[in-house]
Amino acid sequence: MSPDLVHGLTAAARSTSPAELIAVAFGLLSVYLSAREHIISWPTAIVNVAIFFFLFWKAKLYADAVLQLVYLALSVYGWYEWRFGGAQHTRLKVSRATSTQWMALVPLFLVGGLGLGALLARYTDSPLPYFDALLTAASLVAQWMMTRKLLENWLIWIAADIVYVPVFIRRGLPFTALQYAVFLVLAAMGWFGWRQSLRTQRQETVSA
């Protein structure tokens, strides 16, 4: 390991607050459990987003801060849906997004992202208003899809995580950037794991 890299990691560690480390730990645990289809992923997500709301607001990532409040509501909703959202209030199973759902989600992403970007550009000092807002909109779409156990949520998370890593590095949140790098790996695991779960469900349906 080069001296410059060691110095950079040491400086990053010194600038990282205990709150960020706790949020990172709960965030990693939550996504790992989601990839494993474990319902405990939702209460751990609630702890994660509550802490990150304050961290993002302090870093002037306003859209991401507000996003945490929406995540809080979606986490409560997802917790209920995974437990009771299936047929006859049973456990919700993995499925694929329908064409009707995509026809609604894509316009919502564009309108929501551009609209929020305009508000941030006009009323805040956000350094990257439209960029921040479009990432926010994509994350909201992906999170809602996760509450419904739609397989394609992982593809959106993969794309978003690839972008989020350098953004958080620039905003002085190095361990949050590291968290999202790990999120990228976990999202890939989630994609393959949920896809296998969907195949198993279909085989069981055919066998029945």
> For residue 106, what are its two tokens?
């894509």
Residue 7 lies in a domain: no
> How far is residue 36's CA from residue 197's CA, in Å, rounded to a whole number?
10
Contact present, 87 and 102 (Cβ < 8 Å): no
Collapsing DSSP to helix, strand or coil, 91 comes out as coil
Residue 12 lies inside a defined structural domain of this protein: no
8 belongs to a structural domain: no
Parent domain of 70: 18-83+101-207
Instruction: Evaluate whether residue 4 is within a structural domain.
Output: no
pLDDT digits (tens, 9 = 90+) for 38-62: 999 999 999 999 998 988 888 887 7
- For residue 31, being part of any structural domain is answered with yes
Nearest to 197 by CA among 12, 1, 36: 36
Instruction: Compute how many other C-beta atoms are within 10 angstroms of the C-beta atom of residue 124.
Output: 13
Contact at 8 Å (CB) between 76 and 39? no
Please tell me which residue, 136 or 98, carries the higher pLDDT value: 98
Report the domain count for the chain: 1
Residue 35 main-chain phi, psi, to 5 deg: -60, -30
Residue 36 has pLDDT above 60, yes or no: yes
* Model pLDDT, residue 194: 96
- Could you tell me if residue 195 is inside a domain? yes
**Quick check: is 130 in a domain?**
yes
Per-residue model confidence (pLDDT) at position 2 = 43
- The mean pLDDT of the chain is 87
Residue 207 has pLDDT above 90, yes or no: no
Could you identify the residue written with the tokens 């989630």? 190
Q: Please compute the mean of the pLDDT values over residues 7-16 and round it to a whole number.
A: 52
Tell me whether residue 27 is in a domain: yes
The mean pLDDT of 87-101, rounded to a whole number, is 93
pLDDT of residue 14: 54
User: Over the stretch 104-163, which tens digit does the pLDDT of each residue have?
Assistant: 999 999 999 999 899 989 988 878 889 888 988 999 999 999 999 999 999 999 999 999
- Rounded distance between C-alpha atoms, residue 183 and residue 156, angstroms: 12
> Binning pLDDT at 50, 70 and 90, where does residue 6 land?
very low
